[in-house]
Chain A
Amino acid sequence: MRIALIDDNEIDIFVNTKLLETSSITAEISSYLNPLAALDELCSKEIDVIIVDNQMPEISGYGFLEKIIECKQDDLPLMIVLTASVHEELREKYKGLHDQIKLWEKPLNVEALSSLLAEA
């Protein structure tokens, strides 16, 4: 299992990495503070789960996943967007991009992630 965390906030990266590490999920975790660098790397790398922050200065979570969907096409990873608050409009917007995208509130809910992975 390979999980990528993309967030411009260092604390959130730290917390989410730790939360994943201490959870029952066994995974190789890669984290990126710079989403553009992450895009470069992830497009040419196999990845199972992408957890991305909705709001980043260089590119939004939406723009980020748009690019991921473009470069991954048939081999789409599980896509989770984290945001401080979930709005109906934001949910619709992501649904419009891809109906499998999950929009979750911060901080990352590891239990929900592991049951999601169990379903898959």
Chain B
Amino acid sequence: MNKQYLLYVDDEEPNLVAFRAIFRREFNVITATSAEEGRQKLDDNPEVKVVISDYLMKGITGIEFFESILEKHPYIIRIILTGFADQTAMMDSINKARVYRFLSKPWNEYDLRQTILSAIELYDARKNIAKHQKELENSYDSLNQFVHKASNEMRSTLVSMHGIVRLAKLEDSDNKNMNYWPILEKGIMQIDLQLRNIIEHYESDQRIGVSNKIDFNEIIQRCKQALDSFQDFSNINMNVVVRATESFYNDPFRIQLVISNLLNYVGDQINPDKGQINLDIEVIDGKSGVQIMFTDDDIGIENEQLNGLFELILSKGNNQDISLYLVKQAVENMNGTIDVTSIPGEGTSFNIFIPNNQSEFHANSSN
């Protein structure tokens, strides 16, 4: 096995000589007589995994030396040698310089060897974790990109199929099979909505700094129209009030995502036995942003379901709606907040705050 690299810094030459004499067969020992030389040696020898430093040196303590190398060499494990009987003062510095161990001088060969060996082990483990972390991030990114690309491709095929079904509906209008086409069409549109959600979620996550003037009336109407073909809103008396007088700027894509998914959620939840329900959608000025409220008088949500409402729970046999998860992600991407209150039997109310990016918009448009 290759010999591991150590750096030992001590301003007393005889200590370095003694250290080297004992450990040179087991380790590649690099030595330095000052903090400055120590830093230089670290730069020249990236293989170094463990640094041992004397505590009290001319003009600098081992702790100070360690602090000075933290940023450049975050993974290196640091060991302090000290002749002090009272170590409590130094213990305070553990966090500052992230010292792995304090060993007292004169050192005991056995203790020092064991400490160095476990320090090397720790170094390797940390390096390994960092490597895996990086790999994990990379594969998470590629997975996201893959899902995004696959969803787009599936949608494009699905939209073609939708065309075929429409055509079949037209050509087949006298046939008794006529009843099948709308069922097929509805299924296609539901899959299409799911795919759109995935695509929008990915795209919403990737967006930065888009800020345009928002027309809430228009967005609400557009969302409703887009959902109309497969969501039955006939049981809902929708009452839209937009009283936001200030010009409001944010990302229209995300605002639309929020409103469209909330509408879809409400549409899905409607209890058909309840008869007509009222849905009030209110947009009003709030402090440095807008307040968007969706209030219905449907059957409400039980308390225990309320907690996990915005979470993505992917369990078997649970056909969970991802609408609210998407809403929350988009709201948080805009630095907004969302909360929900519900009284079983009386109704549910979603309350969203989204900050106004007007100042940012002006800053952007002026350059």
Contact = CB atoms under 8 A, between A and B. Distances in A.
Interface of A: 9, 11-12, 15-16, 18-19, 22, 55, 84-85, 87-89, 106-108
A16 B252 CA distance: 31
Contact of A85 (B166, B170, B196): B196
B152 to A, nearest CB: 7
B163 A22 contact: no
Given A9-B156, A12-B160, A106-B159, A87 B253 contact: yes
B170 A15 contact: no
Interface in B136-178: 152, 155-156, 159-164, 166-167, 170-171
A84 B163 contact: no
B191 to A, nearest CB: 13
Given A106-B159, A106-B162, A107-B159, 11 more contacts: A11-B160, A11-B161, A11-B163, A12-B160, A15-B164, A19-B163, A22-B170, A85-B199, A106-B160, A107-B162, A107-B166
Most chain B CB neighbours (cut-off 10 Å) among A9, A16, A55: A9
Interface in B178-220: 196, 199, 212
Contacts of B252: 88
A84 B155 CA distance: 7
A47 B274 CA distance: 55
A18 B166 CA distance: 10
A9 B170 contact: no
Nearest to B256: A88
A84 B166 contact: no
A112 to B, nearest CB: 13
12 contacts: A9-B156, A12-B163, A18-B171, A19-B167, A22-B167, A84-B159, A85-B196, A85-B199, A88-B252, A106-B162, A106-B163, A107-B160
Contacts of A16: 163
Contacts, number: 48
Contacts of B161: 11
A84 B164 contact: no
Nearest to A106: B159
Nearest to B155: A84
Contact of A88 (B160, B170, B199, B253): B253
B253 A108 contact: no
Contacts of B163: 11-12, 15-16, 19, 106-108
Interface SS of chain B: helix, strand, loop or mixed? helix
Interface residues of B, number: 19
A55 B162 CA distance: 18
A58 B147 CA distance: 24
Given A19-B170, A22-B170, A106-B159, A11 B164 contact: yes
Contacts of B212: 88
Contacts of A12: 159-160, 163
Contacts of A108: 163
Contacts of B156: 9, 55, 84
Contacts of A89: 253
A85 B160 contact: no
Nearest to B253: A88
B159 A22 contact: no
A16 B162 CA distance: 11
Given A84-B155, A85-B155, A107-B162, A15 B167 contact: yes
Given A9-B156, A85-B196, A88-B252, A22 B164 contact: no
A6 to B, nearest CB: 15
Nearest to B166: A107
Contacts of A55: 156
Interface centre among B155, B167, B212, B252 (most CB of A within 10 A): B167
B164, B252, B253: residue with the most chain A Cβ atoms closer than 10 Å: B164
Contacts of A106: 159-160, 162-163
Nearest to A105: B159
B24 to A, nearest CB: 65
A17 B256 CA distance: 33
Contacts of A107: 159-160, 162-163, 166
A84 B167 contact: no
Contacts of A22: 167, 170-171
Contacts of B199: 85
A14 to B, nearest CB: 8
A81 to B, nearest CB: 14
